[in-house]
Structure 1
Amino acid sequence: MNRAKLVSFTAVGAQTAARAAALLSDFVCERYARTVDPSLAGTELTRFAQQAMVDCDLIVFVGAAGIAVRAVAPYLVGKAFDPAVIVMDEAGKFVIPILSGHLGGANALAQRLAAGLGAQAVVTTATDGRGVFAVDTWAKENGCAVLEPEQIKYISGALLRGETVGLRSAFPVEGRLPPHISMDATAESGFCIGYDTAAQPFAHTLHLVPRVVHLGVGCRHLVPPEKIEAAVQAVLQSAGIPLSAVCAVGTVDIKRDEPGLLAFCQKYGLPLHAFAAAELAAAKGTFTASDFVQRTVGVDNVCERAAVLSSDSGRLICRKTALDGVTAALAEQSWRAVF
């Protein structure tokens, strides 16, 4: 679940913040009414902003834009890491995304809040203002990791000038490509969709990695997280897949509280899907069987079956790799680049 913090500075602003929070049902919202809540008396806004920039996906300031800018400015990291930051006036007439409009989703969230409040969204990014394709917005909406966010400016700049931008995709492409995007033309700037992060077909190449690979893991009790990571890196390297493509981890239910596995998932922000032995046994496909695993957990294979189940019966793309008490396998869910 995404996290949001909303801070207001007047009694009217506190009411607007409450209305906005009600529209963010997919967020865990915390509201900070600085002039209404006595417990916040004497607290520093800079400390609030510093913590929120680290642990939130969205920060909403109900007040002056200058206050928001000065509060978050010391803690900016980069467009691939900064949360969405939105400013609203205390009466809720205007909703202005000021940070992470595309990758963080601030533009879309501002439009959602404006629609719910009967307000005006003020979106200032050039691609949105001119109706030009925004590659970072497309990547976010289609579940792709953006590896070189610094390259986005070259693609957006070329499109705003009416120049052709190249596209290369290792996945099937569906739909009509946006204007000035070509899969055939030679271009100075372009983006690649796939797992090959070394390919450089353009002078300015942006790699978009679909996050569609599910990792299945089996392990001995109390295996340290570094051994789990070593096994994961080994199976990814053998398959030629970057870690950024992994979107979830699957295992058997008796391992749902395994400390090393939980630590690995927490480190990379990956959800852990734990399946009962009977569920794993019912997975469709041909798997690498082990009598020892059958006797131990009640099913002949954990990593391959868990990867397939986690991927919603996806394609097994790398079979069991065993290393230092850890087994790992990879499955890929079905995905297409849809425009």
Structure 2
Amino acid sequence: MNSKAFASHADLAEKKTSFERLSDNAYAYTAEGDPNSGVIIGDDSVMVIDATATPVMAQSLIRAIRTVTDKPIRHVVLTHYHAVRVLGASAYAAEGAVNVFASRGTRELIEERGQADMDSEIGRFPRLFQSAETIPGLTWPTVVFERELTLYLGSLEVRLMTLGAGHTKGDSIVWIPSQGICFSGDLVEFNAGVYTGDAHLAQWPATLDALQALKPQQLVPGRGPALKTPEDSLAGIDYTRRWVQALYRCAQDGVRAGKSLREVYADTRCAMDPEFGQVFIYEHCIPFDVSRAYDEASGIETPRVWTAERDREMWAALNG
């Protein structure tokens, strides 16, 4: 394997963002495979789902919101703890009083590894952290829920739900039951790399089954385009399931055969490159994904903490 630029240091091309209306209340903020956010407009306030990576980057989303409503932004939901999703939250606080919602598992992960993740992610993908110097620090939820929390934005019911572990142990979705609209966070990706470096791979397919059982009419994945029909929503769930199952199967087979991490990496690429090799951030994700899959298949149930040092050691071992 040829040496290549670390993680996504070579990914410098800006992505075009889109702000798409899904219903009278719901909008998708997507960016050609970069991390997505969601917006729900209630009777008297606005909810943002995933805060973007920096306060400066959040301003672009705030400007998009202001093209459709002047209602105050009062609610920010963190679907999970990763820095690229949460560190822009202070921009919404500047708009006024804001509640920041997260699952108990997400709060625990921020406490345990939030700073390490922040340092690691900024080092992996500098383009996604525009004006990182404006980040005031970690984002802490002000409201934590265990399994499910129902909010009413006036007359509009919105449910925050944890369906099981997957992308992280703390994954949440945001669900508008009256409209069948789901904001999945990184539990679902579509036509983009599925990052699994902090995942629970054996449990993830069952969590996707629980999400599928909701029968979403529209689904906004963590990355990729908004999925605006039941058929497209199902395709996004199935895409993610195929990635996770293929990845973990390769790791399980390799560990049973006594293969090294580097050998399993080569085998996994042979299995996955034909279907997934051309999607956005595949090359970024797959070394981290195989590392986690190899760990889990070897009996390491809790994902190891990624640090900037561990990132580079792993990258050199697999790509050097």
- Taking structure 1 as the reference length, the TM-score comes to 0.26
- Taking structure 2 as the reference length, the TM-score comes to 0.27
Report which structure shows greater RCO (CA 8 Å, sep ≥6): 2
Between Structure 1 and Structure 2, the one with more strand by share is 1
